[in-house]
Structure 1
Amino acid sequence: MPSFDTALFVGGTRFVGRHAVEAFRDAGYAVTTVSRGTHDDPFADRDGVDNYTGDRTVRADLAAARDAVEPDVVVDCVGLHPPEVRAATDVFADSRYVYVSSGSAYVPGDVPMREDETALHPCDPEQEAEDSPETYGPRKAECDRAVFAAAEAGVEAMAVRPMLVQGPHDYTERFGYWTNRVAEHDRVLVPGDGGSLLHRVSVRDLAAALLLVAEEGTPGEAYNAADRSAYTLDTSLDLIADALDTDVEVVTASERELAAHGVDPTAFPLYTPDPMLVSTEKLAALGWASTPPAESVAETARAHVDAGVTGPAGSLDRETEDAVLESLRG
């Protein structure tokens, strides 16, 4: 087994990083997070976790954190622009560097999408500096290419590509939308036939994957992270209902039926018109396994209810949903 005991997280105080810090700490690592301090630090009073205030877009801040910590492993949770990742792989060239990428880096089409076969989005220089949702996938793809280039130059750099991540402390509230609907209403509107299939991963399982890749991954490789058992949107609602000990009637509506009320299917979080699935064979070969969906959904749903999560801004409002539901009764 590798002898690593010091980890530096670029980011690490909000969602994915928060859980990953816990996983590394539980594994015996001395952990330091680098963040700007714009969000509450959940580890402020925790032994074994230090914080270094710095801006990941400022190379000197990364270098100062490196010199202070001398990390065996670096986990980059907040690399959104290729120049940032190029700088990070250079600054941390003497560490094991794990970049948190995304399944959005892939050009959709393959079912499942595979690390060494499915094409990545192209990314032109103008897109590299953008922050729009439309350029998110291309930027993540270019960040992956920066990781691969660093590995070719001798850096022990790897990428982990999670699909949609869900779990406690998810500030995007996408899964929280559906949890709130099931918790508060007997009938819930679902677009299409309910079979929307978007691969997901528990945040705790992703944290375990990051630890495993940091210790056992091969430099220059990417690893998909997603549940070994995918499940549909309507199944999600049934699992939420079971977790909350309630019942739910899933009411489906076609694109035409939704359009009659000015509703687009994309107004629903987690909806995808085409299957978005990835192969997880590479990660499983390292010894990774995912939590059964019923268990991971239950943990997530209960945490969202306790936190009062209602869903992201811009989601379908209940008044419009009720109008659609009423029209479908006839």
Structure 2
Amino acid sequence: MRVLVMGGTLFLGRHIVEVALGRGHDVTIFNRGQENPTLFPEIERLVGDRNSNLSSLAGREFEAAIDPSAYNPEQIHLLLSALKGPPRHYTFISSISVYRGFAPGIQYDEDADLLAGSEGYGALKARTEAAIWSAMPERVAILRPGLIAGPYDPTGRFTYWIRRIEAGGRVLAPGRRERPVQFIDARDLAEWAMLLAEDQVSAVYNAAGPHSTLTMGQFLDHCLEASQSDARLEWLTDEQILASGIEGWTELPLWIAENDTEAGGIFHADNRRARGLELGFRPVAETIRDTRDWIRAAGEVKCSPLLVKTLSTVKEQSTINACQP
């Protein structure tokens, strides 16, 4: 199958290309040629800018397109206008950020209300979903993951916890040990996206991690086991963390106060529809171990525009001292 991957050399797109090649597909990637330009020398690489210059795609035909990088409807219009014709199937990696809100403790499925308008990441992703579906009705798989984890992660979110626990000492552990968390390994998402493209599945799916089967305590225990450092978890309540002025999701990835009226239920995504179509999840310990190995080999990611500013050690320790003198 002739497969077009938009991007393909950074994180999720890189895993998608690896899966597609492993399954024997004829892969073409389109990107700006700035990230890992020597990666995948055996495949066709088209250079351009999806916002302004898609001339290298002009007149081309593909059986499937897998797109982890579109963020607004205009990017879809430009891509489909450049191609000779729409691909037979389009797999779009969207986000749970399209939902209007995440009420505390409430599970949400794919029929939950979406954000309106065109302001902000989530709303634009929702409008992008609509643009693809309008252009190619019944030929689109829309996948809505939450946090994506694993090797090559340029955001610093998931890797924050692995790096921090490897560094040792007192580690601020947020909220309740029993609080559920959800994330999906990029490799699991890539394999499933390729399967949907092959089968030309058309629907919308929450591609978030398993619900109610992983807690924050279990996740951090796995990180401790992988690091074998002298790290000691210091559990602080949501109220203590909020009072310290620490920002959830950015400074402390995988944490948002459970009683937050807008996002407290973010880790309650219902993914039964996706699991019914063979979305599977590798063991959490494997994701942590493989990501740890990549971190050790690659060193610190410093220049990615996707890198978030996580909690500094100084602020972390001062917060622990103030709350647990």
**TM-score relative to the length of structure 1:** 0.84
Aligned-residue CA RMSD in angstroms?
A: 2.4
Are 1:183 and 2:166 counterparts? yes
Q: How does 1:216-231 map to 2 (within 5 A)?
A: 216-219=199-202, 221-228=203-210, 230-231=213-214
* Residue in 2 that maps onto 1:23: 19
Identical aligned residues as a percent: 26
Structure 1 position 100, deviation (Å): 1.2
Q: How does 1:291-330 map to 2 (within 5 A)?
A: 291-309=282-300, 312-330=307-325
How big is each residue's C-alpha offset from its partner over 1:56-82, in whole Å with a ceiling of 9 and x where there is no partner? 123643xx42634x3211111210112
Letter in 2 for 1:327: A
User: Per-residue deviation at 1:95?
Assistant: 2.9
2:37 paired residue number: 41
Tell me the secondary structure at the aligned position of residue 136 of structure 2. helix
Q: Relative to structure 1, is the Cα distance of residues 245 and 73 closer, same or farther in structure 2, using a 3 angstrom cutoff? A: same
Provide Cα deviations, 1:213-270, integer angstroms capped at 9, x if missing partner: 1122433x11221223542333222111112234532212235534665434453122
Question: Letter of the aligned partner of 1:143 in structure 2?
Answer: T
Contact 1:161 1:225 in 2 (8 A): yes
CA change 1:222–1:262 in 2 (3 A) is closer
Deviations 1:97-148 (A, max 9, x none): 1111111111223643212x21111124xx3xxxxxxx11111111111122
Q: Does residue 65 of the first structure (1) align with residue 61 of the second (2)?
A: no
Q: What 5-or-longer segments of structure 1 have no aligned partner?
A: 128-134
Structure 2: where are the runs of 5+ without partners? 258-263
Query: 1:148 pairs with 133, 138, 143, which one?
Result: 133
Tell me, yes or no, if the aligned pair for 1:34 and 1:54 is still in contact at 8 Å: yes
How far apart, CA to CA, are the structure 2 residues paired with 1:265 and 1:278?
18
Q: Does 1:100 align with 2:93?
A: yes
1:280 and 1:93, CA in 2 relative to 1: closer, same or farther beyond 3 A? same
Are residues 42 and 59 of structure 1, via their aligned partners in 2, closer, same or farther at CA, if it must alter by over 3 Å?
closer
CA distance in 2, matches of 1:8, 1:202: 22
> Counterparts in 2 of 1:60-209, with a 5 A limit?
60-61=54-55, 64-65=56-57, 67-68=59-60, 70-89=61-80, 91=83, 92-109=85-102, 111-115=106-110, 117-124=111-118, 127=119, 135-152=120-137, 156-209=139-192
Partners of 1:268 and 1:179 in 2: CA distance: 13
Match of 2:272 among 281, 291, 296: 281
Tell me, in whole angstroms, the C-alpha distance in 2 between the residues paired with 1:27 and 1:78. Answer: 22
Q: Which has the higher helix share?
A: 1
SS of equivalent residue, structure 1 residue 67: coil
Count of paired positions: 308
Deviation at 1:38, TM superposition (A): 1.9
- Pick which of 255-264 and 312-321 moved more: 255-264
What secondary structure does 2:24 align onto?
coil
Pairing partner for 1:211 from 194, 202, 215: 194
Measure how far apart 1:24 and its partner are.
0.5
